[in-house]
Amino acid sequence: MNCIIIDDEATARAILGHLCKSVDNLSVLEEFPNAIQAIKYLNHKHVDLIFLDIHMPDFTGFDFIETIKNPPKIILTTSDANFAIQAFEYDCIVDYLLKPITPERFQKAIQKAASKDFSRSESTSTEQVEASTANDLYVNINRRLIKIDIPSIYLIEAKGDYIQIKTEDQNYTVHSTLKKIEDKLPVDTFLKVHRSFIINAKKIIDIQDNSVLIKKDVVPVSRSKRSELMERLNLL
């Protein structure tokens, strides 16, 4: 596997680099002191695995994940145990290493990354969001395929192992992920503005600070997504 290391501390990068050298078939392509440099690198390079620190100045590890498209496998490295539950909301994260990292724990994380099957979430036999057409989306609810008019969707929210699809007429709770439904929605209309929310940009009523109002729902907008949202709008 090819990998990169993103950590603002030089010592932490050196330790991870040393640990990587102990693993056969694991090659460190680059090291970065901040996420911005890594994003520029990934715009024209492919990697299999990223070692990612959470706490970095100006741009956190979670901001980084929300910014890049189709992220590879990611192993978080941090001295803060408080984000473990939040971390596993992301399908791309395969492990969460607490500093100082022991060789034994590092080896276990690499084994997870090597064996992690990312194709499982794409299986229509297990996911409940089915195929869509230009204006229709079919969801499996109680063994019935329900047709949803895509333009009527104004908000989709992740809730644990489920998503809630809110439409003009009705709300639907479906066993699926935001990633699964995001891939089936028109990109010129829908935007993931936060790790837990996808919005229909045409349904926005108001924007204030780091949130948008859609119908009666106030939806948070992450810092990394605000500029993309503003570009979508027809500003005067």
pLDDT higher than 60, residue 28: yes
CATH of 2-116 among 1.10.3720.10, 3.40.50.300, 3.30.530.20, 3.40.50.2300: 3.40.50.2300
Name 55's Cβ contacts closer than 8 Å, sequence gap at least 6.
61, 78, 79, 80
Section 94-103 average pLDDT: 92
pLDDT higher than 90, residue 217: yes
Residue 155 · residue 170 · CB < 8 Å: no
Residue 197 is predicted with a pLDDT of 96
pLDDT: is 233 or 234 the higher one?
233
Domain spanning 129-232: CATH 3.40.50.300? no
In which residue ranges of the chain is CATH 2.40.50.1020 found? 129-232
As a whole number of Å, the CA-based R_g of the chain is 19
Residue 122 is predicted with a pLDDT of 34
pTM as predicted: 0.53
Question: How many residues does this entry show for the chain?
Answer: 236
pLDDT higher than 50, residue 121: no
Residue 134 is predicted with a pLDDT of 59
pLDDT-derived band of residue 2, with 50, 70 and 90 as boundaries?
A: very high
Residue 128 is predicted with a pLDDT of 55
In which residue ranges of the chain is CATH 3.40.50.2300 found? 2-116
